[in-house]
Structure formats: structure tokens, C-alpha cells
């Protein structure tokens, strides 16, 4: 993860938007071999690794590190917006 990458989001609306986008992420098939994650995201008791660029995003639930999920373009935009706040 990036050093000093912890971002605390307490706005309930933003947290709810993130959770919705993570819940609708597309599961990717195949063997997972990823670079170190950019961020760690914690939502309640769930924790995810997040890889993010301007156009796309990928998450991995820490409870299942053999599966990745692709975020929609809207979700990537949302995460970039919140990270840059």
C-alpha cells in the first residue's frame, strides 16, 4: 500500500455509495497475481485491497485473496473523487 494512504470517510452517504459499488463489482475468473495494492479500504468488518487508476479499479476482499473484482467506471470515478478530497 502507499505510505500514509489511510483515508477516513465518515459521511454516511459516501460510505453507502462505496459499499453499493463494491457489492456490484464484477468477479474476474482466473489466477490472481497482483502488484502491491494502492490502498486498503475498511467498511465495517469487511476489508478490501484497492488498485485504482483514472479509468478503472480493482478490489480484493481480504477474506478471499484468490479472487479479484473489477469496479465499474462509475465506481472508479467515485473512489478517485473520494481519495482526492
pLDDT digits (tens, 9 = 90+) for 38-83: 998 888 888 899 999 988 999 999 999 899 999 999 999 999 998 8
Q: pTM surpassing 0.75?
A: yes
Percent with pLDDT over 90 in the chain: 56
pLDDT digits (tens, 9 = 90+) for 7-44: 778 889 999 999 999 999 999 988 888 898 999 888 88
DSSP H or E segment with residue 75: helix 73-83
Distance of CA 36 to the CA centre of its chain: 13
3-class state of residue 16 by DSSP: helix
Nearby residues of 69 by Cβ (< 8 Å), 6 or more positions away: 22, 25, 26, 27, 28, 58, 59, 60, 61
Amino acid at each position: 500500500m502507499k505510505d500514509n494512504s489511510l483515508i477516513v470517510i465518515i459521511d454516511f452517504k459516501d460510505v453507502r455509495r462505496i459499499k453499493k459499488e463494491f457489492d456490484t463489482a464484477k468477479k474476474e475468473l482466473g489466477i490472481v497475481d497482483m502488484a502491491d495494492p494502492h490502498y486498503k479500504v475498511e467498511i465495517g468488518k469487511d476489508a478490501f485491497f484497492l488498485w485504482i487508476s483514472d479509468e478503472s479499479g480493482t478490489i480484493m476482499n481480504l477474506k478471499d485473496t484468490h479472487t479479484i473484482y473489477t469496479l465499474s467506471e462509475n465506481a472508479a470515478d467515485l473512489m478517485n473523487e473520494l481519495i482526492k478530497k
